[in-house]
Structure 1
Amino acid sequence: MDRYNDFSVEDFVWDDFFRQWALSPTPETHALWDDWIDANPEMLEKVEQAKAIVLSLRLHEPEIDDAEINQVVKKTVGRITEAGEENIRQPGRRIPVFSIPWMQFAASVAFIVLLGWAVYAVMIKGDEKPQSAQGDTVIEHHESFIEKVNTTSETLQLALSDGSRISLAPKGRVRYPERFDGQRREVLLEGEAFFDVAKDPEHPFLVYANGLVTKVLGTSFRIKAYGDSREVTVEVKTGKVSVFAQSDPHLKEKVEDRQFQGVVLTPNQKIIYARNKVKMVKTLVERPEIVVSKAETPQFEFEDTPASEVFDTIARAYGIDILYDEALLKDCPLTAHLDNQTLHEKLDIICKAVESSYEIVDGQVIIHSKGCRN
């Protein structure tokens, strides 16, 4: 949160994380901002003014960050500041309510936002661009970029300079450097795509998609980030990924750090990111797949096998965590052939046989049991 220490009112108004807190506060973000204000009491007035402006304008969408609009805002604020100083130099003069600097700023921003949305609505139909991180401040500069749009009804296969591959779904759009010559490999996505990323621990691979950043070193995963959807999903097939919001106040540190930060996902796990609530829910993919090699894949044929051993076998095969009370389940024998069932069907059959139930919490399977009746 240190980056907010020198913010002006207009800086707060245009900041995604601040607007999301002002419009859709959560207990976590509320506590975060309260703590910061307590540590920086001199910023309280600016925060209150900026919050009042955001609430009055209802800036629900964070995408309006056009450089020209920001430039107009700065010029407007400059004129407002001059007007405010002139009022201070004339203490005997009665100041109308609308002449109060921050009220003028609110009116100016309202006009700018309406103008910006009008321009945006026209331009987005002709030449939409995938969204990047806040103000592109963390994306490295490259001499030339390649932009691909899938206008067909088939998946478009793309090969990147580092050996990575992208399977771009219809109506999807990606933008990436012609060559990855910086510290990071960065791609901007709008729509849906499957990524098969070449391993390179020294150069993390990052995908910016509709408010969410996905960071990997070398793995395969799918991202769904449609512009008209309030949700972004990331599903991991192999390896490990970390995800975090572009509005995260520690975005720059998380992007530049070669270690994993944020929410970490492993095979068969996925994250659902609610953009309007800045909330992430970790769960399992709809149809988990076996992640071990064919030679290591068990037959799933059990004959009077303890339920605890059955759950361990399934957990290893699918690369997931199955948590249970071993003392309760070690004496619960199971006889079943589960070769052709999905993971959820396997769990349903096992739980019914040993008088248990299960739920998925934070990408893990939790087994609830009271033991078996002999």
Structure 2
Amino acid sequence: MLTDRRILLVVSGSIAAYKALELVRLLRKAGASVTAILTAGGARFVTKEALAGLTGQRVHDDLWAAEAEIGHIRLARLPDLVLVAPASADLLARMAQGRADDLAATVLLATRAPVLVAPAMNPAMWEHPATRDNMARLAARGVRVVGPGMGAMAEPESGPGRLAEPEEILAAVAALLRPGAQPLAGRHALVTAGPTHEPIDPVRYIANRSSGRQGYAIAAALAALGARVTLVSGPTALPDPPGLVTRRVESAREMLAACEAALPAEIAVMAAAVADWRVARAAAQKMKKAPGAGAPVLEMALNPDILATIAHHPQRPGLVVGFAAETEQVVQHAIEKRRRKGCDWIVANDVSGEVMGGARNTVHIVTAEGVEDWPELPKDEVATRLAARIAAALG
């Protein structure tokens, strides 16, 4: 699977560093040669001797010693892939800042090889805005991410931040190095997801039942094929997906502005369930019920048509995919919508049941050539199939 592939493994400071030993064993069993860099933090949890015994090579841990013996530039040029596992919050921050204050950071700054990071940290650290900003910056530079997973931590806590299992990291390495496994590498994809919230007053809004799960899954599937993804998300309870840039917005007008700011892009998948209308003049203060008075009359205004705007934009992506959530005459409405909006494809689905907020979806792909009827699938599988179809269409 990885015969003759050269992996440079960076082990940074995390209690999960012990899993790096099993990871080395799996990488070598798959045919790869492994050279290790051990940071000062990583050395708190595993020893140079353990890594050297499993890699069969000298372990590097000192910038100045490496300069004298092998050179950090040679280390940077040596591998087919640089793998950081575990990747601590500190090392990810230094990578995002472009620091070169130890051997690991210097090699990561100097390498031209693909970089794959496997984050591991406490859930609060993973969800902190600083870490999210750092991950977005790294994703924009093409750094790939595997994990983190959900689960129990060393502390009596549980949540996102657990190091991906060695087998999962091995699969990510193999996928990244497999010829043709990154058909969307170098392409920028814009994806929208979730609902929009249109304010009535400071405490009330108009929205729909979209959970954002399908759009988030599509963003992740495109990233897995190598695309640089910008996800513009309305309000959802979902965490920002690792490995891509997420822009969170509230209203349709904010979503349109974020989409236009993300252009140019080669791909646009507009999966968000955007509110068609908004209150023309939202109240500045909470609207109060008056004794004996009836319900207030709300004057409505049309929201901007984000799909049509992107489909006719001066920086129009080469492939524009819209979504049609319908409760009846699903395919016919989708055919008409594709023609009316000016997009290339429409992904149509029947939302009369429990699709919105659910885990499964049945879709129809409407193109100029006709209609493809897909069976009911988990939303992740819908996303994987759609991403593969997009990659095939772009050659």
Query: TM-score w.r.t. structure 1 length?
Result: 0.25
Task: Give the greater-gyration-radius structure (CA).
Answer: 1
Give the structure, 1 or 2, with the largest relative contact order (CA under 8 Å, sep 6 or more).
Answer: 2
